[in-house]
C-alpha cells in the first residue's frame, strides 16, 4: 500500500508546499468557524444560515477582518452545495406528488409571479434602467431561494410537516419558470434576435428530465439500489453533478436538474440516499452560504442599503402574502399559513445568478450592490422569521 501511494505521489505533480499548507489552514479555519456558528445557532434554536452569511460579510473583502480565502475553491464548493440542497429536497417527494403540485399550484404560481416579479421590474423602470435590466431585476425579487429554504427546513426539522408540500409546490413552479426565464433573459440582455432556439432547448430539456423522473423513476431506483453506503453515495453524487452540469450547459438551471434527480428516486432507496448524502450536503451547503457572504463588499453595500432594505421589506410582505394564500387554498390553518409565508421570504442563488447575467451585459455596479444587499437581507430575515413564526 505504501509503495502504491509513493508511486502515485511521484507521478502526480506536487503543488508548492506553502500554497498547499495555506489552503489546508484556510479550509480548516473556515470549517471550524462554521462549526462554532452552528453550535451557537443550535443553542439559540434557529437556523445557522444567517450566521454563515454574516460571518462571510465580516471576513470578506472590506469586512471587519478580511481573510484571503481561496475564491476558486469556495466557488466550486458553493455551487455543489446548492445542487445537493436541491437534490435532497427532491428526495422528499415522488414524481406523482410533483405532478399533483404542478396541477394544483398553477394559480398560485401566477399570483406569485404578479406579486413578486412586479416590484423589481417597476423599481428598475423608476430608476431609469434599460428594459432588459429592469426585466432582470424582476427576476431577482421574484424567486425564493430553494437552497436557503431547504437548509432551513432541515435545520428546523420541518421537512415532513404537512404544510411543507405547499412550500415545495411554490418552489418547484418558480424553479421551472426560471428554466424558461433565464434563456429569455440571456437573449434580451445580449440584444440577440435568436429567441426561439434557446427557449425550445430549455423547455425540451425540462420536459425530458420530467418524463424520465416520473415515468422511469422506479426503474432508475432499482438500478441504483444497493446495500453499500459507499456505492449509493458515489452513484447519487455523480448522477446529480452530471445531470446538473448538462442542465446548466443547456441553459437550464443546474438546481432544477438536481431537484428532478431527487424526484426520480423513491422508496427505500430515497431514504438511503437521504441518509448518506446528508453530511456531504451540509458541508457544501454551509460553504455556499459563507462564500456568498464573502463576496459582498460592505463599502459598496452601504450606499444602497436603505433602498435594499425598503425593497426587502416590501417583497417580504408580498412573498409572505403569497405563501399565506397558497396554504389557505391547501386547507391549512392560520399557524401553518404563517409558517409557509415566512419560510418563502428568503431569496438567494437564482437572484445572484440573474444579477450576474445583468452585470455581464453591462449593468451598472449599483445593480450588483443593490442585488447583493437585497439578497443578504432577505436571506437573513427569512430563516429568522421561519423560526419564530407560530
**197-243 per-position pLDDT tens digit:** 666 776 777 677 677 777 777 777 788 888 899 999 999 999 899 98
Per-domain residue ranges for the chain? 76-388
- Average confidence (pLDDT) over 156-167: 85
- Does residue 13 have a pLDDT over 80? no
pLDDT tens track for 328-359:
988 899 999 999 999 999 998 778 778 777 77
Note the pLDDT of residue 332: 93
Mean predicted confidence (pLDDT) in 28-53: 84
Give the burial string for 38-58 (b: 16+ CB within 10 Å, else e).
beebeeeebbbbbbbbbbbbe
Share in percent of the chain as helix, strand, coil (round to 5): 80, 0, 20
* Residue 369: per-residue pLDDT: 81
DSSP annotation of 302? G
Contacts 24+ apart (CB under 8 A), 154-161: 154/88, 154/282, 155/41, 155/46, 155/47, 155/48, 155/49, 155/383, 156/47, 156/386, 156/387, 158/339, 158/343, 159/92, 160/92, 161/336, 161/339
For 136, the grid coordinates are: 432582470
> What average pLDDT is seen over the chain?
80
Checking phi first, is residue 19 left (phi over 0); if not, alpha (psi -120 to 50) or beta? Answer: alpha
| Architecture category of domain 76-388 in CATH | Up-down Bundle (1.20)
* CA–CA gap between residue 47 and residue 60 (Å, rounded): 21
Coil, strand, or helix at residue 333? coil
3-state secondary structure (DSSP) of residue 266: coil
Contact 272, 232 (CB under 8 A): yes
Pick the residue with more confidence: 19 or 162? 162
The predicted structure's pLDDT at residue 1: 40
Residue 67, pLDDT above cutoff 70 = no
Q: What is the pTM of this model?
A: 0.74
Please state, for a pLDDT cut of 90, what percent of the chain lies above it. Answer: 21
Nearest to 101 by CA among 146, 176, 166, 149: 166
Structure-model confidence comparison of residues 355 and 318, the more confident one: 318
Residues 6+ apart with CB under 8 A from 316: 345, 378, 381, 382, 385
User: In the prediction, which pLDDT does 148 show?
Assistant: 83
Q: Measured between alpha carbons, how far is 99 from 359 in angstroms, rounded to an integer? A: 35
- 8 Å CB contact between 144 and 171: yes
245-296 pLDDT, tens digit per residue, is 887 777 666 777 787 788 788 778 888 888 898 888 888 888 888 887 777 7
Amino acid at each position: 500500500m505504501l509503495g502504491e501511494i509513493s508511486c502515485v505521489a511521484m507521478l502526480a505533480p506536487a503543488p508548492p508546499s506553502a500554497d498547499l499548507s495555506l489552503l489546508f489552514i484556510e479550509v480548516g479555519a473556515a470549517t471550524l468557524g462554521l462549526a462554532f456558528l452552528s453550535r451557537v445557532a443550535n443553542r439559540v434554536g434557529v437556523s445557522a444560515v444567517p450566521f454563515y452569511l454574516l460571518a462571510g460579510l465580516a471576513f470578506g473583502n472590506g469586512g471587519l477582518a478580511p481573510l484571503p480565502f481561496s475564491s476558486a475553491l469556495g466557488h466550486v464548493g458553493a455551487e455543489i452545495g446548492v445542487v445537493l440542497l436541491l437534490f435532497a429536497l427532491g428526495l422528499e417527494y415522488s414524481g406523482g406528488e410533483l405532478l399533483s403540485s404542478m396541477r394544483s399550484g398553477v394559480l398560485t404560481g401566477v399570483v406569485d409571479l404578479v406579486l413578486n416579479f412586479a416590484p423589481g421590474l417597476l423599481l428598475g423602470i423608476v430608476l431609469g434602467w434599460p428594459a432588459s435590466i429592469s426585466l432582470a431585476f424582476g427576476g431577482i425579487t421574484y424567486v425564493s431561494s430553494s437552497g436557503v429554504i431547504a437548509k432551513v427546513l432541515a435545520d428546523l426539522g420541518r421537512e415532513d410537516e404537512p404544510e411543507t408540500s405547499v412550500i415545495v409546490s411554490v418552489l418547484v413552479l418558480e424553479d421551472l419558470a426560471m428554466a424558461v426565464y433565464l434563456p429569455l433573459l440571456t437573449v434580451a440582455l445580449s440584444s440577440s434576435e435568436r429567441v426561439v432556439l434557446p427557449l425550445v432547448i430549455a423547455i425540451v430539456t425540462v420536459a425530458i428530465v420530467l418524463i424520465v423522473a416520473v415515468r422511469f423513476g422506479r426503474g432508475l431506483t432499482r438500478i441504483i439500489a444497493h446495500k453499500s453506503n459507499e456505492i449509493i453515495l458515489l452513484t447519487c453524487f455523480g448522477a446529480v453533478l452530471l445531470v446538473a452540469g448538462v442542465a446548466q450547459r443547456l441553459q437550464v438551471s443546474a438546481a432544477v436538474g438536481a431537484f428532478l434527480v431527487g424526484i426520480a428516486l423513491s422508496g427505500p432507496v430515497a431514504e438511503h440516499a437521504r441518509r448518506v448524502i446528508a453530511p456531504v450536503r451540509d458541508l457544501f451547503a454551509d460553504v455556499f452560504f459563507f462564500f456568498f457572504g464573502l463576496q459582498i463588499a460592505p463599502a459598496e453595500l452601504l450606499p444602497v442599503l436603505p433602498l435594499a432594505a425598503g425593497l426587502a421589506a416590501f417583497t417580504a410582505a408580498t412573498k409572505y402574502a403569497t405563501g399565506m394564500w397558497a396554504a389557505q387554498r391547501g386547507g391549512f390553518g392560520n399557524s401553518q399559513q404563517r409558517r409557509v409565508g415566512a419560510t418563502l421570504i428568503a431569496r438567494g442563488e437564482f437572484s445572484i445568478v440573474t444579477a450576474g447575467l445583468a452585470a455581464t451585459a453591462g449593468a451598472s455596479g449599483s445593480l450588483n450592490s443593490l442585488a447583493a444587499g437585497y439578497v443578504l437581507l432577505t436571506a437573513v430575515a427569512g430563516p429568522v422569521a421561519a423560526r419564530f413564526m407560530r
